[in-house]
Amino acid sequence: MNSTGKPLIDAAIGLKPSRYPVWFMRQAGRYLPEYRAVRADHDFVAMCKSPELSAEVTLQPLRRFDLDAAIIFSDILIPCIGMGQTLTFDKGHGPELNSPIRTLKNVSDLIIPNAEKDLGFVGDAIALTKSKLRKDQTMIGFAGAPFTVASYMIEGKGSKDFTEVKKLIFRDPAIFTNLLEKLAETTILYLKMQINAGADIVMLFDTWAGQLTPDIYRTMVFPVTNRILSAIKQEMKIPVIYYPGQGSDKMYELSNCSADVISVDWRTRLGQAGKILREVGLNVTLQGNLDPQALLAPEHVLRKYVNDLKLEAINASRNHIFNVGHGLLPHIPPESISTVIDELRKC
């Protein structure tokens, strides 16, 4: 197969990339003063709904750093708006969804959105951003995986112990399963819309899947999640990235995963993740997995961490996309991002 001209896509599909591909989860965010300046005047959801503001903050990190990808500025909970919920991000509170989903009636009242009509602002933001990218840069679209989005819909906000979610799983599994099904259907439409607007690859975030037992994950959660990955691969013919969140045990459940890339949390060694995935018969590219807090280290230490990870990656999988193991935090010094990229490009 010929190179696509985009190092990240080449790495994702198993071709030799022309340089070491790198991007950072939450690369658009509060650690950048220029983001905070925009955010000071705008509500978070309003920024997500404005294609111009979304494209502007998506591009901010690319103006500073030589990154291989832009990930569209949005949130995994944006589709919940299209499904009929009200989403708010009050400062210091994190996301909140009104009218939590706890009954079968709540689930059946949720709307399957018309992605173009109800969530088209995300597609417009993607098209606008893409028009400003270099040819070798990749446009990443994304969505939350059904379990992670469902956990916010059920709890109504973020949670430590996921009690309301677990109540449904263990007492009323039909409600939980119905919600996941509805979310899968929505997510397929939502991602297709993003791809039609110009996304070159899409990533599915299952940040909270680590809260589940391997059995619940295997029987109730992974199949409906993988249905999204397969549908996108088969119908849209573009590569997909899956982020299964915390817990190396999860890797044992991914034998028939349709993703091209598995994004690894920092609590698992890249080599260990690759070994398990090979054992279960999966030949994928790995992405990750620097601890985002390692970006606090002094420059010479950080350069060593980057090299350690590069060495670890050599035998871990067919290719490696450099990234953090979870999103960048507001207190990360932007200079650390430049250091990582500089060290990666040295080879």
Residues that bind ligand CP3 (CB under 6 A): 25-30, 39, 44, 71, 73-77, 89, 94-95, 142, 148, 158, 205, 207, 326-327
Of residues 39, 218, 267, 303, which has the active-site annotation?
39
Residue of closest CB approach to ligand CP3:
207
CB of 329 to ligand CP3, least distance (A): 8
63 is catalytic: no
Q: Smallest gap, in angstroms, from Cβ of residue 35 to ligand CP3?
A: 7
Query: Crossing angle of helices 33-41/51-64, nearest 10°?
Result: 160
Helix (H) or strand (E) holding 338: helix 334-345
* Annotated catalytic residue, options 10, 20, 26, 190: 26
* Catalytic site residue from 31, 152, 217, 242: 152
Nearer to ligand CP3, 143 or 238 (CB): 143
| CB 276 to ligand CP3: min, Å | 22
Sheet harboring 69-71: ordered strands across? Answer: 69-71, 138-144, 201-205, 240-243, 261-264, 285-290, 320-324
Question: Which tokens hold the place of 214?
Answer: 């391997």
Helices of type H across 222-265: 222-236
Whether residue 278 lies in the annotated active site: no
Residue number with CB closer to ligand CP3 (89 or 275):
89
DSSP line for 127-193: HHHHTTS-TTSEEEEEEE-HHHHHHHHHHSB--SS-HHHHHHHHH-HHHHHHHHHHHHHHHHHHHHH
For 91-123, b where at least 16 C-beta lie within 10 A, e where not — what string?
eeeebbbeebbbeeebbeebeebebeebbeebb
DSSP labels for 27-57? -SSTTSHHHHHHHHHS-HHHHHH-HHHHHHH
Q: Which is nearer to ligand CP3, 128 or 311 (CB)?
A: 128
Nearer to ligand CP3, 113 or 292 (CB): 292
Rama region for 84: left / alpha / beta (φ>0; ψ in -120 to 50; rest): left
Task: Give the β-pairing of 240-243 and 261-264.
Answer: parallel
Q: How far is the CB of 311 from ligand CP3 (least distance, A)?
A: 26
- Does the active-site annotation cover 31? no
Pick 58 or 177: Cβ nearer ligand CP3: 58
Of the residues 19, 64, 66, 75, which is catalytic? 75
Q: Which of 19, 30, 218, 278 is catalytic?
A: 30
What DSSP element (H or E) covers 71? Answer: strand 69-71
Q: How far is the CB of 135 from ligand CP3 (least distance, A)?
A: 21
Smallest separation (angstroms) from ligand CP3 to the CB of 347: 26
243 is catalytic: no
Q: Which amino acid is at 182?
A: K
| Closest to ligand CP3 by CB, 28 or 150 | 28
Burial label, 90 (beta-carbon count in 10 A; 0-12, 13-18, 19+): exposed
- Residue 30 is a catalytic residue: yes
Among all residues, which ones are annotated catalytic? Answer: 26, 30, 39, 75, 152
